[in-house]
Structure 1
Amino acid sequence: MKLRLKILLLAVVPLLLALAFLAYAVYHHGTTLSRQEKHAVEQAWLDSKQAELRHYVKLAQSVIQPLVGAQDSAAAQREALSLLSKMEFGRDGYFFVYDLNGLSLMHPRQPELVGRDVSVMRDALGQLVLQPLLAAARRSGAQGELVRYLWHKPSAQREMQKLGYVVAVPEWNWMLGTGIYLDDIETTLADLDAAAQGNIRNMLAWVAAIAFFGTLGVALCGLALNISDHKQSDAKLRLLARQVVQSQEEERARLSRELHDGVSQWLISTKLLLEAALARLRGLPGQDDPALQKVEQPLSGALDRLHATVGEIRRISHNLRPSLLDDLGLPAALSHLAREVTDATGEPPVLRSEVVVHGQEVKLPDAHNTVLYRIAQEALTNAVRHAQASTVQLALDYLPRHVQLSIRDNGQGFDYEDVQRAPEGGIGLRNMRERVAPLGGTMTLDSSPAGTRIVARLPLPA
């Protein structure tokens, strides 16, 4: 694993772990607070409803109290039942009356129960409904007692939890009571729970967003550092490549001078000595002497080979570092190079070359001159050796901010992708690109069966 990746992980992993712990803490504490809040709200609601039920029952007791001691008990009971049936509170608040044996005496919402013994009535769960109420009324008497039970809710048309408060009226053997359905508190608690869960989700969403943007920020910082490092590395590589090319060219120039001023001069002096020796030999009397002819023939052959060697050394010296590039500039060097390549194809020449210069010539740095010259050298060699072209045109354009060299031939072209895939192919093209890149230039290549066009573009120095 790379050091940069390790540093990135060391920055991101603690952040994610801390945010994960924070998310767990938020969820845990949020859930705990939600439960506590629900319990507190439920208890407060129940307390308030219990007090409310006691108040309602006390009110009902006060209404029928004047009738309890009447002499005509039957008439008083009928009047009391009539008064209680008319007393309502809320949407589903009413009073009911049973005798202590389970006989329904008054029920304003379910009149069909009146006159029936409902002591054995069971709810949806199979539990006896009225027995707990009757037992509570017998225990508490006139003081009253709270009881929870399932009962049919008229507005909902189904059984629901109900909190009832019942008292006994011992003078008439009655159980008087009322109740409040608990679905309201269940709805309230469900709303509270939903709100709490929504708040927890929002908080977790914030934590997730912080984690995302924190990780993104760390990643972007790492990417910025990486890009900065890459830019610095690329700049160093370009500088190194430029120095390598410059060193190569300096070494080529040194070798060219050594060959021209050293080896070439020694060979020329040797050639002059041989020529002088051969002239003296030919000036001796008796030229028809076979012994003299045997000496003259090897000397003439050696002199011819020495002459060819001097020419080859001059050619190698010129290719290593053309003196025209330093003395007369890039256009003259390109024209001379084109003529050399053309003359090398035979007599008459198979290749026709042309050099065209556009714009006002600008003195270029040695690095620019060398790169463009080497690209032209490689392109002309490829046109003759591989493309089998008959025409090559070199166009040198001096633009306001750039200098551009275009080489176009009418050869058979090639498939650039195939050349790049071949491990032994495309070395010359890669060399061209590697020469252009350190100077901040670009090189484009377009090849087809109709020919190949190479364009090298270098920025002019400020």
Structure 2
Amino acid sequence: MKLRQKILLLAVAPLAVAMLGIALAVRFQATQLAQHERALVEAAYLQSKETELRHYVELAQSAIAPLVRSGRTDAATRQAAMEALARLDYGPDGYFFLYDLHGRNLMHPRQPELVGQDLWTLRDPQGALTIQQLIAAAKGGGGAVRYLWRKPSSQQLAPKLGYVVAVPEWGWMVGTGIYLDDVESTLRQLDARAETDIRQTMAWIGVIAGISILLVAASGLALNVSEHREADAKLRQLAQRVVQSQEEERARLSRELHDGISQLLVSVKLVLETATNRLRLAPAEGAAVAPVLGMALNRLDTVFNEVRRVARNLRPALLDDLGLYAALQHLAREMQGGSGLEIAVTQSGTPRELPDEQATALFRIAQEALTNVERHAGARRVVVALAFDADATRLTVRDDGHGFDVARMQEDPQRGIGLRNLRERIAALCGQFDIVSGMGGTQLVASLPLARPAAIAHDPVSAGPSPS
């Protein structure tokens, strides 16, 4: 996976995780809210129904109150009370029932087959003792009881809320109830509506998350395309700079070979031709030819020195023979003699062997930095410091020139190519490159990490001599 893809994934993944967390939290909170709302609705509904049932029971009590207060307990009086209760109904499933306090059914207008049966031990499908619960509530002063009972209109078991009171004068329990299957249906509709709302909310969160991820991906793609274009532009500039540098180096070598070595060789050739002509014209006058041959030898020495100078500029032999520190000292002496700069080279730490690529990179950086100081800095003094730290080899070039704007130089595509080349050279070796510049001068620091032992050349003198 490419770096840009990893960065895009790191941007999208936390967003997706955050949106998922938000969705789960919203769903949890919405579910809790729906359950709380359901409980409130159910409690309010049951409370209203309980109040309504209590009023119905009070109405039934008032209907038989005259008979009860009459003091008569004969069968005819009780039968009249039962008939009065049987006539009180409110809908197909709204009726009053009557039991004695021992669980025997005395009156049931919708299920007459129960009349006379002892239902004390009657249990519902869940195992609850239905009649005993009703009688216990009645003896306790009256109250509501929830239980299961067969609904007369549908002959199906349905949840029911009953309200009962006792008639202690006659040992009766009078009650009525309302079936809650309609309530359960209403609550199920409420649950379904809440679930629909939750799904719609989750869908909106999903849409928002999808749009957000698409926007992040589109932004990353746009940034990727922009970076690709910028990288391509920099690569083209770098390629042009490499080609230009090659052509400049070739032109410089051509000039030096033509203007220096070639002219000297032509001069030597002319001197040797003169000596040859003298010997041919006057073979006996060998003494007169000796000064001419000496001049030719001197000029050949000059040619050899020029060849060595050109070779050192291409790659200093001292870098391979005596190491980086000696090569830096030699470079400083050459530039100091030709530019008038005061260049000091120092070394600190315990010298160690450096791989060839590291030594070459640090030398080229020092060479480029000194060339830039000579051309642009207007400095009088330069310090080149080579430090062998415990974990890295560090090269510092510091001058007292007028400095420049580093950020502006790096942003300008037409300038600062040399600095970018130095930075990329160090980055290729996993090192660090830093440059700070201001009115007091410029400081360039290049640091390369310790190389693996297998990468170090076994040259006992490659680190160079210690400073005296």
With the length of structure 1 as denominator, give the TM-score of the two structures.
Answer: 0.48
